[in-house]
């Protein structure tokens, strides 16, 4: 069976590899067959976050014909914290998204 393995080591950069695997191969076997240990910075298969077509999966999950196996990087910043910091940078009410309010309207509209 043929499976596509995708990993993004940095923003705007992606490595893609098409693998021929035996039927019933797992995510762990696909990573071993690809030989991407150096690119994945020596992480064990259990430490990696992987997904099949964008859905999180485990290292023991069985792959099927045509699957796209994606290896994810860890987040550098929590998205909630980043949004909060962006909002603080916009200012309270005089700047940013909420600067132009219609008279007698609700806040945020």
Model's pTM, two decimal places?
A: 0.62
In which band, very low, low, confident or very high, does the pLDDT at 3 lie, cut at 50, 70 and 90?
very high
pLDDT, tens digit, 9 for 90 and up, residues 16-72 = 889 888 988 888 888 888 876 656 665 554 457 889 998 998 888 889 898 999 988
Output the CATH code of domain 2-72.
Answer: 3.10.20.30
The pLDDT value recorded for residue 68 is 93
What is the structure's pLDDT at 60?
84
Which stretches within the chain are classed as H helix? 27-34, 79-90
Q: How far is CA 58 from the centre of its chain?
A: 14
Closest by CA position to 25, among listed 60, 76, 68? 60
């Amino acid at each position: 069976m043929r499976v596509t393995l995708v990993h993004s080591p940095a923003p705007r950069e992606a490595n893609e590899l098409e693998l021929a695997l035996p039927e019933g191969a797992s995510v762990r076997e696909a990573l071993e067959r690809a030989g991407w240990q150096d690119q994945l910075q020596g992480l064990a298969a259990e430490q990696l976050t992987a997904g099949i077509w964008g859905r999180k999966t485990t290292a023991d999950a069985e792959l099927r014909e045509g699957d796209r196996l994606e290896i994810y990087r860890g987040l550098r910043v929590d998205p909630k914290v980043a949004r909060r910091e962006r909002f603080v940078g916009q200012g309270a009410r005089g700047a940013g998204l909420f600067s132009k309010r219609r008279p007698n309207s609700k806040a945020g509209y």
